[in-house]
Amino acid sequence: MSDLSPVTSGEDAQDPSDEADSSGDAPVGEPVIRVKAMTMGWGDFILQREATFTVNRGDVFVLLGGSGCGKSTLLQHLIGLQTPLAGSVEIAGLGERGPERWGEPRFRVGPPPFGVMFQSGALFGSMTVGQNLSLPLERWTDLPPDAIASLVRGRLGLVGLREFEHHYPSEISGGMKKRAAIARALALEPDLLFLDEPSAGLDPVSAVELDDLILTLNRQFGLTVVLVTHELESIFKIATRCAFLDKDSQSIIARGDPRQLRDESTDPRVRAFFNRLPRSVAEEARA
Ligand SMILES: Nc1ncnc2c1ncn2[C@@H]1O[C@H](COP(=O)(O)OP(=O)(O)OP(=O)(O)O)[C@@H](O)[C@H]1O
Ligand SMILES: [Mg+2]
C-alpha cells in the first residue's frame, strides 16, 4: 500500500519490457493488471471478446469507446464485481483469476488493494461526506476514531473539500461529489485507482482541476490510475496509454499512446474518435 508520499524519480523509471502487451505501447513500470483474452457477456449476448491488455505501474490508463461498448462493465470485471465468460484478470496483490476461481474466498477477504470511483459517484446519501470516507477505514482497519477522523480530513484536504466534511452529498455540487467519491476511493491509501468518467458533466474549469488532481495522484503520490473518459483534452493531457473498445466488433481495436493513435492509427474508427471527425467521414475513408 502506498503511504501517499511522493515518489522519487528512481521509482518513476521507464521499463521497456511488456511481454503481455504487443501493441508497441511504452510501458512505465512493472505490470499491475494483466487482462488475458477476457470475454464479457451474459448468456448469448457477448459484449467484448478476448480483451487483452496490460496496465503498468505508473500508468494513467484510459478505457475509451462509444456509449454501450462496455467500459463500465470492463471496470466491474477488473474489480471483481462481474465474472467473465472466459479469460482471466490478474491484479498485483490478488493473483490471477478466471471464471472458475472468481468466487474463491481469498478474493473476498481483506480490503481491496485498489480504490474505485463509480460512474454515478455512489456516495451514501444518508451519510455526510466525512462519514462516507470513514466507512472503509472503520470496515477494514483497527484505527481509533481520532486517527480515522484525522485521515478523513487529510483525504478531504487532498481533493479540496476540507470545509465540507459535515455536508451531505445533496448539499454539495456535482463536481464536489466526484471529488468526494475520489477521496473515499483513496481512504485506504491504495496504489491503484479506478475512476469511471470522473469529469463527465463538469464545467471546463472543474474538469481541468480534476485532471490536475489525477496527475498529482499519479506523479507525486505514485498511484496507477485506470480511468474511463470521453474527454479528448483530458485524454491527451493525462493518459499514458489507452485501450479503445469497439461495440460493433466486440473487441479492443487499438491500444497505445493516445497521441500516437490520433496521429498514426490507420483505423478510421480510431482516427474519427481522436480527431473528432463525423462517423460518415470515417466510414468513407474506410471504403
Ligand atoms: N449485468 C448486466 N446484464 C446484462 N447486460 C448488461 C449488464 N451490465 C451491462 N450490460 C449491458 O452491457 C452494455 C455495456 O454497458 P456499459 O455500462 O459497460 O457501457 P459503457 O461503455 O460504460 O457506456 P457509457 O459510455 O454510456 O457509460 C450495455 O448494453 C448494458 O445494457
Ligand atoms: Mg459507463
pLDDT on residue 20: 39
Residue 103 or residue 96, greater confidence: 96
Question: Do 24 and 62 meet the contact criterion of CB atoms below 8 Å apart?
Answer: no
**φ and ψ at residue 112, rounded to 5 degrees:** -65, 145
Q: Is the beta carbon of 76 within 6 A of some atom in ligand 1?
A: no
Q: Is the beta carbon of 70 within 6 A of some atom in ligand 1?
A: yes
Say which range, 6-15, 66-75, 216-225, has the weakest mean pLDDT: 6-15
| Single-letter amino acid code for the residue at 248 | D
Question: Do 223 and 192 meet the contact criterion of CB atoms below 8 Å apart?
Answer: yes
CA–centroid distance, 70 to ligand 1, in Å, is 5
| Single-letter amino acid code for the residue at 55 | V
pLDDT on residue 81: 82
Question: Do 38 and 87 meet the contact criterion of CB atoms below 8 Å apart?
Answer: yes
Residue 287 reports pLDDT greater than 80: no
Give the Å distances, CA to CA, from 20 to 24, 37, 55, 90, 143. 11, 11, 10, 12, 39
Mean predicted confidence (pLDDT) in 89-97: 81
Round the average pLDDT of the chain to a whole number and report it.
82
CA–centroid distance, 68 to ligand 2, in Å, is 7
List, for residues 177-235, the tens digit of each pLDDT value: 888 998 999 888 888 999 998 887 777 887 888 898 899 889 988 899 999 998 888 89
List, for residues 120-172, the tens digit of each pLDDT value: 668 888 889 999 999 888 888 888 999 999 999 998 988 888 899 999 998 98
Q: Which three cell numbers stand for residue 131?
A: 462519514
What's the Rg (C-alpha) of the chain? 19
List, for residues 146-159, the tens digit of each pLDDT value: 999 999 999 898 88
Residue 6 reports pLDDT greater than 70: no
Nearest atom within ligand 1 for CA of residue 230: 25
pLDDT on residue 107: 58
**φ and ψ at residue 10, rounded to 5 degrees:** -60, -40
Question: Maximum distance among all alpha carbons in the chain?
Answer: 65
Q: Is the beta carbon of 71 within 6 A of some atom in ligand 1?
A: yes
Q: Is the beta carbon of 155 within 6 A of some atom in ligand 1?
A: no
pLDDT on residue 19: 40
Bin 41: left if φ > 0, else alpha if -120 < ψ < 50, else beta. left
Query: Confidence class of residue 244 from pLDDT cuts 50, 70 and 90?
Result: very high
Q: Is the beta carbon of 72 within 6 A of some atom in ligand 1?
A: yes
Nearest atom within ligand 1 for CA of residue 245: 21
State pTM to two decimals. 0.83
- Among 80, 99, 85, CA closest to 33: 80
Residue 21 reports pLDDT greater than 60: no
Going edge to edge, which strands form the sheet with 86-91? 45-56, 31-42, 86-91, 95-97
Closest residue by Cα to atom 18, ligand 1, is 70
Give the Å distances, CA to CA, from 25 to 161, 217, 256. 36, 22, 5
CA–centroid distance, 232 to ligand 2, in Å, is 16
Nearest atom within ligand 1 for CA of residue 119: 27
Task: Using most ligand atoms within 8 A of CB, pick from 46, 71, 195, 231 the residue to mutate for ligand 1.
Answer: 71
Percent of the chain whose predicted confidence (pLDDT) is above 70: 82
Closest residue by Cα to atom 3, ligand 1, is 42
